[in-house]
Structure 1
Amino acid sequence: MSDPYPNCQVNGQAVLSIVGGMEVVQARALRILAENGISPLKPEGWYPLTHVLNSFKLIFEKIGPSTVRAIGRKTPDTARFPPDIDSLEKGLRAIDVAYHMAHRGSEQIGGYHFEPRDRRSAKMMCDNPYPCDFDLGMVEAICDRFRPKDALWVRIEHDPKSCRRRGDTSCTYLITW
């Protein structure tokens, strides 16, 4: 099977979220990355997107979806985000900005598309090549970090109408607060 992203690379700072999300088993994370040609892992390095995606596939198969989700939750801690984020909407919109800052070599990698629905709800459509558990974790982390002060909680639901795990081109998350 040919590589759908032959020229696309991911910066090492973003790949470090895999190690950060696997806190208890960091040595295992580094082994999985090395098995996929990502060694040594350097924050300033650039690595083939296909190698990163293959690492996620192994993590999902060998350890499980909750670990992939934990990696997503850690990503905002290690990825470069714009500095002026002070609201939930800006935080959710910034995921796409940070995603494109962390990748180079291809514009055909999809993204994270925020759409407000009303004053207290929105949706996030993710049409990138990463696993949906990863995206859910990242959206959760941003919602936790930028929860509106007048909201007791932020609820995130995976819209059952679209899921990449089933072969769809995107996943959509419905967000209410």
Structure 2
Amino acid sequence: MSIFVTREEIEAIDPLLWKVLPLQIRERLPRSLTASPLNTTVLRRAFTMLRPFLERLFQRLGYEEGEPWPQWKLLAAFYLIQEEVGPATLFKVGRQIYATMPWPPSVRSVTDAVMGLDPAFRAAHHDAPDALIGAWRVVEAVPGRMVIESSTLYPCHLEEGTITGVCDGFSNERPRAALLMNRRPKRDGGRVTSFEVVYNPRTDRDRDTPHQTAPTSIDGPCRSQSRESAL
């Protein structure tokens, strides 16, 4: 049996789902991986105004309450949200993930938080290998600027929201997030999306205490920037 979910299995859940999934991930959905049921809580928090839609979506995908998600079905949920409700809603869901979560005591700056994205992602997916689930990789980190690449199977708009939610928690450093266009992002058929976070670096004495806060000035998908790669 293949380690990836087949087209027949995907269309058995929903005949329209195959067409909704991006070409570059349709045949890369791992069969055996699971994701934390915490994702259900995050979705419900973000969908307070669209709860009936969300509950129908859970039923449509055969989600069992309180159980881990088959990871491919969670991915399908996000792509169906993007298709049927729109990318702005998906951005909101991503932002909710980190803007309202309690941060570990060791995370005291936006640098700590960005560096912690990959460990948090891995923990939520039970340390699945990169080859199956992808990763968040910091490719540049200098005072005041970080570049991080996502090779996960999740939609770009969701991850733009995730990066913005990280920035929300450290507003004292005035972080700003941007989607970089030095390589083709996942939304345009690529397999890796690059993000830049620029901020005002702080000394250890001034390091932020992460907080739940109102959104920063970024209230939609990250602004795109066309830049040559410095790597």
TM-score range, shorter chain: 0.7 to 0.9
Change (3 A) 1:79 1:162: farther
1:15 and 1:52 in contact (8 A); partners too: no
* Structure with higher strand content: 1
Residue 163 (structure 2) aligned to one of 136, 139, 143: 139
- 1:23 match: secondary structure: coil
CA offset at residue 106 of structure 1?
A: 3.1
CA offset at residue 15 of structure 1?
A: 3.1
Bigger CA radius of gyration: 2
1:69 and 1:137 in contact (8 A); partners too: yes
* Structure with higher helix content: 1
2:99 and 2:168 in contact (8 A); partners too: no
The aligned residue for residue 11 of structure 1 is 36
5+ residue gaps in structure 1?
none
Q: Deviations over 1:82-106 (max 9, x none)?
A: 4421111111111211111111373
- 2:116 match: secondary structure: helix
For 2:109 and 2:175, locate their aligned partners in 1 and report how far apart those are by CA, in whole Å. 13
Q: Deviations over 1:41-73 (max 9, x none)?
A: x2xx21101111111111111100011010101
The aligned residue for residue 159 of structure 1 is 180
Q: Deviations over 1:133-155 (max 9, x none)?
A: 111101101111023x3x4x322
Partner amino acid for 1:142? V
2:115 and 2:138 in contact (8 A); partners too: yes
The aligned residue for residue 87 of structure 2 is 65
TM-score, length of structure 2 as denominator length: 0.68
**C-alpha RMSD over aligned residues:** 2.0
User: Which segment is superposed worse, 61-70 or 77-86?
Assistant: 77-86
Question: Matched residues, percent identical?
Answer: 19
**Number of matched residues?**
171
For 1:82 and 1:7, locate their aligned partners in 2 and report how far apart those are by CA, in whole Å. 29
The aligned residue for residue 227 of structure 2 is none
Partner amino acid for 1:139? I
The aligned residue for residue 106 of structure 1 is 128
1:80 and 1:101 in contact (8 A); partners too: no
